[in-house]
Structure 1
Amino acid sequence: MATFADFIQAEEDRDGVRLSWNVWPASRLEATRNVIPVGALYTPLKSRPDLPPIKYNPVLCPRCSAVLNPFCQVDYAAKIWACNFCFNRNPFPQSYAGATEQHRPCELIPHFTTIEYTLPQQRPMPGPVFLFVVDTCMHEDELQSLKDNLIMSLSMIPKHALVGLVTFGRMVQVHELGTEGISKSYVFRGTKDVDAKKLQAMLQLGQAQGQSNQEQLPPSFRFLRPLSQCEQNLEELIGEIQRDPWPVPVGKRALRSLGVALSLSASLLGITYPNVAGRIMVFTAGPATQGPGMVIDENQAQVIRGWHDIEKDNCPYMKKAQKFFDSVADRAAVNGHAIDLWGCALDQVGMHEMKNCIVGTGGYMIMADSFKSSLFIQSWKRIWESNESGQLDMAFNATVEVKTSREVKLCGMIGAGSSLKVNSASVSENEIGIGGTCQFRVPALDSNTTLAMFLEVVNQHNQPIPQGGKGVVQFVTRYTHPSGEIRVRVTTLARAWADPNTGTEYIQAGFDQEAASVLMGRWATFRALTDDGPDVLRWLDRTLIRLCQRFGQYAKDNSESFRFPETFSMYPQFMFHLRRSSQLQVFGHSPDESAYFRYQLAIQPLSECLLMIQPALFAYSFNGPPEPVLLDSTSIQPDRILLLDTFFQVLIYHGETIHQWKVAKYHEQPEYATFAQLMQAPVEDSQETLSERFPIPRYVETYHDHSQARFLLAKVNPSTTHNNMGWGAESSAPVLTDDVSLQVFMDHLKKLAVSSAN
């Protein structure tokens, strides 16, 4: 007999959905008692090679626009279907006249809860458009590496794609691509933004209406041309990019007009290709130092803001810069264009101020030390790799609509994208994340982009749900495929309602602690954008205590008696590690790093998000094959090699004895071949992770007492610290911290949960 775990895995494989609760409480009152909201982690474009798109339009309910799905009631004799959202009875279209119980259309086959349609089009859409926006205020060798990688990518970009180039330093240059034998560009001052109307007049742009068949090309083709027509010209243009010629006095920063360059790029795409697939790809080696969006001034004596400056409100430029970049993000999102930020510098580049440009449009946010680093080079290559069907793993200009049955409403979404401000009967008054709408715009997404949808049960306690009834939610994602086709993917979920009298054990059995942990992690990091860090941690703690009181089995005031059901057993541990994670703890991280960590938690699939919350630790020793071990300081042993995967880093740690053997070069001697194999095994395993993940994680090799061992010590549960090290405990490494250990955390949690004072 299949277990709930099997059911959850099958649903994820088929529909790309994980729910916090897989049996739903039957009333609003019961739902509030469950503490954790009903939420769904939804991957709209989860890779499904077994799901070929159907080449006709979906059948819609004329009243509520819901799509025909396997949970609809159908009268095959009368050729009528009843919508399971508004209960309207609708006739089948003429093309379904031959449908019978034995010969059902695809939409009504129970297995096809997810289905994809390719919409018939009058003419192919132009695009996608890739506009490169390149910073020229960087060292010569950095700029050369960036240029080499941009030229390399031209061979991987589809030839029908439109491309363009903008460079910026003290001035901003919009380059023409149609000129032969001469480089021509329009130069703009970096201290003043140019609105879209003025830009249109200055560049003499009309609105492009797709590919012209006449000799007369659209005016926009001077700046955005199909790669097939300008590849050589663009390659030469990129090769000719020079460092910003303006001299930089000693003690000063280069004047970098990042804000104006980004705004001009958004206007250029918005004028020429509104609602056409497009990406603005920004490459910068530092923050904006002049003009709109300025993050820091040119004087190097002024240090770029840190968290302590933000707490003391000692950031003269931050709020103004955020407001400016938010307005750019809104313009890009309205036109369906994504903004990618590739920030490669040893210091901060202003990601904290610019984050909504990426969050609101679903773009890439990549952070590296240098444009010469393998982290940048490999990540840049990865985005242009083709999937099994020979297409880029990119979708564009998507809208995601959520429809719910009457007993449930949508509170909001946390992930990449912005609100389309469309109200409906499915929208709840309680907002979590981006709320007040049932439709979201996601200008760019791929097969891993995962959105968190938070739902609310609104059925009243005195309105029993009919026997056998189910709560139904439908996700409708309309997007532009890299081939230019317009596609619609529809996923419809149905979950059983729990009987209020006997349903608690079914609700418990259907709890998905992994999905719940990621949903709560996203909610906590969303709250951290506006609330103080300690307030967010207290809210998480209160939620956990209430969950223990609701589902734990215990005798009052006896913490030893506390027991949690098996489906909840890992949840407190996930919360312990979430409280210590880089997403919620800003100490030791710059605001840019925190923005980067939080964005990845907001867009990655469940398995990757769990790694960010609770990293994976594997031990390699002479005692047997590699094995997963506890993320605990007791796992750090002298005769072990550890492999830590935090999603952002892959770290190999050599224990004290192993390191001494390595220094003595035993692994190079033939008689110690086994030791050489042991040294090699974690390296090979880590390479596999590095080759599959995006963004590419940092690769670190370290050893006992080395400075970079701090990355491992910061993540493990500090069960042995400098405060509790006893005699004979020298075999494991002490962690120098005043953080409580998981054991102490659990003891306190049990005491608070069973206390009669609560």
Structure 2
Amino acid sequence: MAEFLDLESQDGVRMPWNVIPGTKQEAANAVVPVAVIYTPIKHFPSSAAPLCFQRNHFPPHYASISDDNLPAELFPQYTTIEYASTPDPTATVPPVFLFVVDTCVIEEEIGYLRSALLQAVELLPENSLVGLVTFGTFVHVHELGFAQVPKTYVFKGSKDVSKDQLLEQMCFFANKPKPAVGVIAGARDGLSRESISRFLVPASECEFTLNSVLEELQKDPWPVPADQRATRCTSTALSIAASLLGACVPGSAARIMAFIGGPATEGPAPIVSKQLTEPIRSHKDLDKDSVPHYHKCVKFYDGLAKQLVHQGHVLDLFACALDQVGIAELKTAVERTGGLVVLAESFGHSVFKDSLKRIFQASNYDLGLSSNGIFEINCSKDLKVQGIIGPCATLEKKTPLCSDTVIGQGGTSAWKMCGLDKSTSLCLFFDVVRKETPDATVQSTSNQFYFQFLTYYQSNSGEMRLRVTTLSRRWVAGPGSSQDLIAGFDQEAAAIVMARQVSFKMETEAEFDPIRWLDKALINLCSRFGEYQKDSPTSFSLSPRLSIFPQFMFHLRRSQFVQVFNNSPDETAYFRMILNRENVANSVVMVQPSLITYSFHSGPEPALLDVAAIAADRILLLDSFFTVVIFHGSTIAQWRKAGYHNEPEHQAFAQLLRAPHDDAESIIKERFPVPRLVVCDQHGSQARFLLAKLNPSATYNSDAALPGGDIIFTDDVSFEVFLDHLQRLVVQ
């Protein structure tokens, strides 16, 4: 995979096919789509050029261009170039953070949330503007600009408030009459700066006021009958927050950061009624379509997504509850605006606290939060764009590049990315439209397809940048092209394209059978590119370029993206949202976790993701992206409980115990959202976090367990049985 990783580090690009099937039929036969996973603002060593909005003379250094003195744009190895404009301090709008805080939670949770928010406020950039909305039965918009007398505007949670009503009630036109015509948006269009600065205050000026409001933050005071849920008007609060930002700071780098601690029961989009007798929707309910609120909620949040995209604003979601809060319904509003999403059990959990800190603490790990992005594609005329699966929204720019087949956000060649960061990755799908192979003379002169990706965005320092990646890939067609295609096959990228596609189909196609779809694709791919004699399973073999792909598909079939049993709709939506925004390396770990073994006999080494890796005298480190598990074999656990590692003569044992913790720490340090760390022992209750991910080569009804090893209580087939079936079906 080394050459594909080099390509990614240079351009942020991974493609399943790096040599592309050259005709429509060949592309269909290749099974895995012609696709690109692109990280638009992946961090590179900086090299940028000036950009402004007039017709330019060539830069002065172009005067000395010669064959041995070329500008960066003309070097063939500089396939990605970034241009930066000099920010105009007067025109730069500071970043805006509007905290929307749920108070329908127990006192203990309020305490955790209060301390996390106070810490976040300290870390905010000084020039950023801050606002606060709290909600429960009612929505409270806090006026932070007048510290002497704390003041809030209260709105009924059960009523949807229009933007005009909001501005009227919040006295935006007290000193200045409301404009007779036109859109009211920002200081330009009739809102006075004084009225805006009552609600959005520079972080350097409002720390005291905000701290005192947060210090006094209390649980929603309205009584909750024993047979009911709390009255929580999440949708009203988010709608008011979006309208407030739309009126005050349209087009700026603004984020609504919503902290939600339970299910919405009030307002235009409740996910469940207040009566505890009504259970929250499950996957089974969604399948049977017996969900009284779901479709209404999705429609509401689709509308909110459109509004936020139009304003250029981002919705970040921090869902911290043992119950579901409605991520499945909110998904479109977060995903289309490029928002961040974090799911934890409590506001006191390290997954939430450390993730929130990481957003603002740029010193250790800079997320590179950027805003106001527009992403465009140009490509060869023989290719058309089907769409994108990932955090973006269509700009409905219909061009001849648009394919009739739509996947994800399609029917356009330009997309809005309200929020993006250095790991945001888009999955682009292409149609090869050429019907037949041109003759040999033509083929030899123009067997290249071209792709150009343009990302125009505002960096976190406020400057506007344009990043341009221009690539070419060779296409092949006709007899004998299989070997060329195999030579350019990237198994990891292919697995992740299939993972995004199957997740998308599960959400958008009724009666879709994901297992059948994946199996059929794998059988077709293996019969097209494998080598075998008909009806002889033992003769089947795959090139090393393809040999790990069946393993990826085996783990994808068992993953949380495809198997929804045991997960709530919120958890499934969360996992898929993260899959749809992460790069290939991170996504591969979600599909097929990595496993490292530690023992006295050898240094840390990778192990097969198999129950056979468990041994009494070993420690295992499993990284499944969302969870990092340190698993002690039974003997190691006994020695640790006996305290041997504290005795001077057992330093080697102390080092062995420490090694996986050090490695886990370095994984956690580089990741967002921060993964959950689980430390467990063989046969302990939390060992399930490891066992669920392992290939069940030894189960309760087989005799394959090794001494000191383990078995898995499952009826799932093992990888060996899966491969055996695959070979038999392929050779038929």
Task: Measure, in 2, the Cα distance between the counterparts of 1:651 and 1:533.
Answer: 35
Secondary structure of the residue that 1:624 maps to in structure 2?
Answer: coil
| Contact kept? 2:23, 2:477, Cα under 8 Å | no
C-alpha RMSD of the superposition: 2.3
Task: Measure, in 2, the Cα distance between the counterparts of 1:101 and 1:406.
Answer: 31
Secondary structure of the residue that 1:582 maps to in structure 2?
Answer: coil
Query: Which residue of the partner structure matches residue 243 of structure 1?
Result: 219
Task: Measure, in 1, the Cα distance between the counterparts of 2:706 and 2:51.
Answer: 69
Name which of structure 1's ranges 146-155 and 404-413 shifts more when overlaid on structure 2. 146-155
Alignment deviations for residues 69-116 of structure 1 (CA, whole Å, 9 cap, x no partner): xxxxxxxxxxxxxxxxxxxxxx99697666444433332222221111
Q: Which amino acid aligns with 1:107?
A: E
Residue 366 of structure 2 corresponds to residue 362 of structure 1? no
Q: 2:298 pairs with 322, 328, 333, which one?
A: 322
| Contact kept? 1:25, 1:500, Cα under 8 Å | no
Q: 2:716 pairs with 718, 722, 739, which one?
A: 739
Unaligned runs of 5+ residues in structure 1 are 61-90
How many residues were matched structurally? 716
Change over 3 Å in CA distance of 1:746–1:260 after alignment to 2: same
Alignment deviations for residues 474-495 of structure 1 (CA, whole Å, 9 cap, x no partner): 1111111122211111111111
Q: Which amino acid aligns with 2:333?
A: C
Query: Which residue of the partner structure matches residue 237 of structure 2?
Result: 261
Query: Which residue of the partner structure matches residue 509 of structure 1?
Result: 487
| Contact kept? 1:392, 1:482, Cα under 8 Å | no
Task: Measure, in 1, the Cα distance between the counterparts of 2:127 and 2:436.
Answer: 58
Secondary structure of the residue that 1:330 maps to in structure 2?
Answer: helix
| Contact kept? 1:126, 1:210, Cα under 8 Å | no
Structure 1 residue 7 displacement after superposition: 3.5
Change over 3 Å in CA distance of 1:695–1:121 after alignment to 2: closer
Alignment deviations for residues 384-439 of structure 1 (CA, whole Å, 9 cap, x no partner): 12259x97621012111111111111111011111111111221112222211111
Query: Which residue of the partner structure matches residue 492 of structure 1?
Result: 470
Task: Measure, in 1, the Cα distance between the counterparts of 2:151 and 2:213.
Answer: 10
Secondary structure of the residue that 1:288 maps to in structure 2?
Answer: coil
Query: Which residue of the partner structure matches residue 565 of structure 1?
Result: 543
Query: Which residue of the partner structure matches residue 11 of structure 2?
Result: 15
Task: Measure, in 2, the Cα distance between the counterparts of 1:681 and 1:412.
Answer: 44
| Contact kept? 1:638, 1:655, Cα under 8 Å | yes
Residue 6 of structure 2 corresponds to residue 30 of structure 1? no
Structure 1 residue 59 displacement after superposition: 11
Counterpart mapping for 1:105-254 below 5 A = 105-119=71-85, 123-205=90-172, 207-209=185-187, 217-254=193-230
Task: Measure, in 2, the Cα distance between the counterparts of 1:583 and 1:6.
Answer: 27
| Contact kept? 2:22, 2:437, Cα under 8 Å | no
Task: Measure, in 2, the Cα distance between the counterparts of 1:210 and 1:347.
Answer: 44
Residue 340 of structure 2 corresponds to residue 345 of structure 1? no
| Contact kept? 1:208, 1:218, Cα under 8 Å | no
Change over 3 Å in CA distance of 1:714–1:686 after alignment to 2: same
Name which of structure 1's ranges 731-740 and 565-574 shifts more when overlaid on structure 2. 731-740
Structure 1 residue 749 displacement after superposition: 0.6
Q: Which amino acid aligns with 1:143?
A: I
Secondary structure of the residue that 2:331 maps to in structure 1?
Answer: helix
Task: Measure, in 1, the Cα distance between the counterparts of 2:527 and 2:52.
Answer: 50
Name which of structure 1's ranges 442-451 and 217-226 shifts more when overlaid on structure 2. 217-226
Structure 1 residue 378 displacement after superposition: 0.7
| Contact kept? 1:725, 1:734, Cα under 8 Å | no
Change over 3 Å in CA distance of 1:318–1:674 after alignment to 2: same
Change over 3 Å in CA distance of 1:55–1:209 after alignment to 2: farther
Residue 523 of structure 2 corresponds to residue 545 of structure 1? yes
Task: Measure, in 2, the Cα distance between the counterparts of 1:535 and 1:180.
Answer: 58
Counterpart mapping for 1:71-86 below 5 A = none
Structure 1 residue 326 displacement after superposition: 1.6
Query: Which residue of the partner structure matches residue 670 of structure 2?
Result: 692
Residue 283 of structure 2 corresponds to residue 307 of structure 1? yes
Task: Measure, in 2, the Cα distance between the counterparts of 1:474 and 1:29.
Answer: 24
Change over 3 Å in CA distance of 1:634–1:342 after alignment to 2: same
Task: Measure, in 2, the Cα distance between the counterparts of 1:218 and 1:707.
Answer: 58
Give the percent of matched residue pairs that are identical in Structure 1 and Structure 2. Answer: 43
Query: Which residue of the partner structure matches residue 70 of structure 1?
Result: none
Structure 1 residue 666 displacement after superposition: 2.7
Counterpart mapping for 1:709-748 below 5 A = 709-725=687-703, 729-748=706-725
Secondary structure of the residue that 1:354 maps to in structure 2?
Answer: helix
Alignment deviations for residues 453-503 of structure 1 (CA, whole Å, 9 cap, x no partner): 111211221435542432111111111112221111111111112253443
Task: Measure, in 1, the Cα distance between the counterparts of 2:414 and 2:100.
Answer: 30
Secondary structure of the residue that 2:717 maps to in structure 1?
Answer: coil
Q: 2:246 pairs with 264, 270, 274, which one?
A: 270
Task: Measure, in 1, the Cα distance between the counterparts of 2:87 and 2:685.
Answer: 59
Query: Which residue of the partner structure matches residue 175 of structure 2?
Result: none
Structure 1 residue 351 displacement after superposition: 0.9
Q: Which amino acid aligns with 1:202?
A: Q
| Contact kept? 1:391, 1:483, Cα under 8 Å | no
Task: Measure, in 1, the Cα distance between the counterparts of 2:477 and 2:275.
Answer: 67
| Contact kept? 1:124, 1:485, Cα under 8 Å | no
Structure 1 residue 126 displacement after superposition: 0.9
Q: Which amino acid aligns with 1:131?
A: L
Task: Measure, in 1, the Cα distance between the counterparts of 2:579 and 2:627.
Answer: 14
| Contact kept? 1:552, 1:563, Cα under 8 Å | yes
| Contact kept? 2:616, 2:708, Cα under 8 Å | yes
Structure 1 residue 211 displacement after superposition: 13
Task: Measure, in 2, the Cα distance between the counterparts of 1:103 and 1:253.
Answer: 71
Query: Which residue of the partner structure matches residue 177 of structure 2?
Result: none
Structure 1 residue 200 displacement after superposition: 2.7
Change over 3 Å in CA distance of 1:473–1:524 after alignment to 2: same
| Contact kept? 2:51, 2:85, Cα under 8 Å | yes
TM-score by length of 1: 0.91
Task: Measure, in 1, the Cα distance between the counterparts of 2:81 and 2:212.
Answer: 45
Change over 3 Å in CA distance of 1:392–1:20 after alignment to 2: closer
Q: Which amino acid aligns with 2:49?
A: I
Structure 1 residue 136 displacement after superposition: 0.9
Structure 1 residue 754 displacement after superposition: 0.7
Change over 3 Å in CA distance of 1:211–1:606 after alignment to 2: farther
Task: Measure, in 2, the Cα distance between the counterparts of 1:392 and 1:616.
Answer: 24
Secondary structure of the residue that 1:612 maps to in structure 2?
Answer: helix
Alignment deviations for residues 584-610 of structure 1 (CA, whole Å, 9 cap, x no partner): 101111111111111111111111100
| Contact kept? 1:58, 1:117, Cα under 8 Å | no
Q: Which amino acid aligns with 1:169?
A: G
Query: Which residue of the partner structure matches residue 633 of structure 1?
Result: 611
Residue 375 of structure 2 corresponds to residue 400 of structure 1? yes
Structure 1 residue 53 displacement after superposition: 2.4
Q: Which amino acid aligns with 1:297?
A: S
Runs (4+) off by over 6 Å? 91-95
Q: 2:564 pairs with 568, 583, 586, which one?
A: 586
Q: Which amino acid aligns with 2:78?
A: F
Q: Which amino acid aligns with 2:152?
A: S
Counterpart mapping for 1:647-666 below 5 A = 647-666=625-644
Task: Measure, in 2, the Cα distance between the counterparts of 1:705 and 1:392.
Answer: 38
Change over 3 Å in CA distance of 1:207–1:221 after alignment to 2: farther
Alignment deviations for residues 614-647 of structure 1 (CA, whole Å, 9 cap, x no partner): 0011111111101111101111112211111110
Structure 1 residue 724 displacement after superposition: 1.4
Query: Which residue of the partner structure matches residue 410 of structure 1?
Result: 385
Name which of structure 1's ranges 440-449 and 291-300 shifts more when overlaid on structure 2. 291-300
Name which of structure 1's ranges 621-630 and 467-476 shifts more when overlaid on structure 2. 467-476
Task: Measure, in 1, the Cα distance between the counterparts of 2:309 and 2:78.
Answer: 32
Query: Which residue of the partner structure matches residue 526 of structure 1?
Result: 504
Structure 1 residue 731 displacement after superposition: 3.7
Name which of structure 1's ranges 96-105 and 164-173 shifts more when overlaid on structure 2. 96-105
TM-score by length of 2: 0.94
Name which of structure 1's ranges 192-201 and 158-167 shifts more when overlaid on structure 2. 192-201
